[in-house]
Amino acid sequence: MQNCGRSVKEVLRFTLPLVLTSLSTSLMFNVDRLMLAHYSIESMNAAALAGNLTASLGFFVNSIAQMATVFVGQYNGLGEHRKTGRAPWQMIYLGLLSFLIFCPLGLLSHYFNIFPSYCRSEGEQYLRIILAFAGTQAISSALTAFFVGRGQSFIIICVIFLVNMLNFLLNLCLIFGLGGFIPPLGCKGAAIATAVSEIVHILLLLITFLSPYNRKTFHTFDCKFRWQLFFDCVRTGLPLSLGKMLSLLAWFIILSIFNHTSKDLATIESFSINVWVIFVFFADGAGRAISSMSANLIGEKNLSAIEELYKLFFNINLVICAFFAVPLVLYQNVMLWFLDGVSGEIVHLYPEFRFVFVSLWMTILLDGVYYLTCGVLNSGGDTKFPMYLELSTLWIGVVLPTIVMYLTGTLTTIRVAYTLIPITGAINCFVVYRRYRQLKWFTCLV
């Protein structure tokens, strides 16, 4: 196990499926928004707002379903292979139960009144479909847990690649139309494409999960509902899931305020989210990977190997951030070139975009460090403190000032929010790193 802290190949092999699992659904939302930007700016802003709300609510159940990975890994490590399919089935049931909530919410979503008038019709169509099918994310995560918990990353990579290619092609046909066969559907087409892709995602995973080999070796057809195992999965994932949901809701409120302030602010924020969300799910996957690997090293009482592992992940994070610095800081014209292709006149927003790109890069750098450090703390059972810290700085340091500016009519630029965001990120990094250096997370278990 010590070698895992020194092997980049081993770290990437362990981290990649977790990153892709976290990124898959968000990548579909991103494709929706980016393609809708070439259809109309109004449609992109509507999809961004609806997607953020759906992600906030859906991620709560989805994050709990991901806890099945822990139980699959435990059974696999103990050699009790015939039990590895049990936890995924419990979380599949959780996903099915969530439809009892998400379907009515989707059907009644037009009563939420969250969209400004300029994009209300498009937004309500998108939200109705996406929210009704939000439970599919939890089911796909539950099935993915079986493969991730057993280290079968290749299957996950192949399925996610196929599903996202399908989503891209469906978006192309449904958003813009297909000759005389399919009329342009805009937001509604993007929502249908994502829902169909998620269903195909589940079917592909389910076929592999229930293959003759897996049924014989791992008893994956053992679909009995086990209340205690179901409760253990939910109890384990509930605190962190609730914290992440509140964090995503904070970003939804910020985007909602920008949408109701002006279309220009909404457009800048919608593009910024598309860039940020790609990296944050890398950071989230890397944080969960280092947490799992550190937990094993804590059991071995090997602090030096954990520190080496932390440094390795930190250096990988710097490489990723260096890559993001090219379009966001060094050659911003690359990003502006892409913006030239959107449907709508936004040249007057380019100075604001340049400022936001730099702020976004600083946020990406700080988020990477924060998630890695929290991953190590979580491996030692220190889970509540990082959650409370992130929620307090985000809500007090960013959301509250944005609300005050909106209510007082002083929210005329996006620069204030994008100055506060990296500042709160720096505070989070400083505080959690000090807690990491105190080693309480290590000594309390050892």
DSSP notation for 7-75: -HHHHHHHHHHHHHHHHHHHHHHHHHHHHHHTT-HHHHHHHHHHHHHHHHHHHHHHHHHTTHHHHHHHH
> How far is Cα 286 from Cα 293, in angstroms, rounded to an integer?
11
Instruction: Give the residues across from 182 on adjacent strands.
Output: 178
Residue 432 has pLDDT above 90, yes or no: yes
Q: How many Cα neighbours within 13 Å face the side chain of 13?
A: 9
pLDDT one-digit tens code per residue, 300-352: 778 888 888 899 889 988 988 898 899 899 988 888 887 776 766 788 888 99
pLDDT, greater one: 413 or 375: 413
Question: What is the structure's pLDDT at 22?
Answer: 61
Indicate the Cα dihedral angle 296, 294, 156, 318, nearest 10°. -160
In 177-211, where does DSSP find H-type helix? Answer: 187-209
pLDDT of residue 58: 87
Query: What pLDDT, on the 0 to 100 scale, is given for residue 169?
Result: 94
Contact 175, 190 (CB under 8 A): yes
Give pLDDT, residue 166. Answer: 94
- Spatial contact of 203 and 229, defined as CB atoms under 8 Å apart: no
* Pair 81, 118: CB distance under 8 Å: no
| Window from 4-18, 121-135, 374-388, 415-429 with minimum mean pLDDT | 4-18
Distance CA 133, CA 233 (A): 22
- Amino acid (1-letter code) at residue 87: A
Q: What is the pLDDT of residues 355-372, one digit of tens each?
A: 999 999 999 899 889 988
Three-class secondary structure of residue 182 per DSSP: strand
Question: pLDDT > 90: what percent of the chain?
Answer: 40
Report d(CA 23, CA 6) in Å as an integer. 26
CA 215, CA 210: separation in Å to the nearest integer? 6
User: In this predicted structure, which of 73-77, 367-371, 414-418, 421-425 has the lowest mean pLDDT?
Assistant: 73-77
**Strand positions, DSSP E, 362-420:** none
Residue 205 clears pLDDT 90, i.e. is over it: yes
Q: What angle do CA 146, 202, 43 make, to 5 degrees?
A: 130
**The pLDDT of residue 263:** 87
427 pLDDT higher than 90: yes
For the cut 60, the answer to whether the pLDDT of residue 156 exceeds it is yes
Rg of the chain (C-alpha set): 22
Are 357 and 328 in contact, with CB atoms under 8 Å apart?
yes
Q: How many CA atoms lie within 13 A of 269 on its CB side?
A: 30
| Mean pLDDT (whole number) for 254-260 | 91
pLDDT in the model for residue 1: 43
- pLDDT tens digits along 15-27: 666 666 666 666 7
- The boundaries of the domain holding residue 122 are 2-443
**Structural domains of the chain, count:** 1
pLDDT at residue 356 in the model: 93
Between residues 337 and 11, the one the model is more confident about: 337
Residue 6 has pLDDT above 60, yes or no: no
178 forms beta bridges with 182
Greater model confidence, 149 or 246:
246
Q: What is the pLDDT of residues 28-81, one digit of tens each?
A: 777 888 888 888 888 888 988 898 889 888 888 988 898 887 788 778 767 888
Q: How confident is the model at residue 193, as a pLDDT?
A: 94
Q: Is 443 exposed, middle or buried (0-12, 13-18, 19+ CB in 10 A)?
A: exposed
**How large is the average pLDDT for residues 377-394?**
84
129 Cβ contact list (under 8 Å, min separation 6): 106, 188, 191, 192, 195
Is residue 446 pLDDT above 70, yes or no?
no
- pLDDT mean over 282-306: 76
Report the pLDDT averaged over residues 73-93. 86
Contacts of 162 (CB under 8 A, 6+ apart): 204
Contacts of 201 (CB under 8 A, 6+ apart): 24, 136, 140, 159, 160, 163
> What does the pLDDT read at residue 312?
87
Phi, psi of 445 (to 5 degrees): -90, -40
Q: 347-386 b/e with 16+ CB inside 10 Å = b?
A: eebeebbbebbebbbbbbbbbbbbbbbbbbbbbbebbebb
| Average pLDDT for the chain | 86
Secondary structure percentages of the chain, helix, strand, coil, to 5: 85, 0, 15
Binned at pLDDT 50, 70 and 90, residue 112 comes out as confident
| pLDDT for 236 | 76
Percent of the chain with pLDDT over 70: 91
What pLDDT does 406 receive?
94
Whether the per-residue pLDDT at 260 is higher than 60: the answer is: yes
pLDDT of residue 237: 79
Q: Output the pLDDT for position 302.
A: 81
| DSSP designation for 412 | -
Structure-block tokens of residue 124: 């309500």
SS3 178: strand
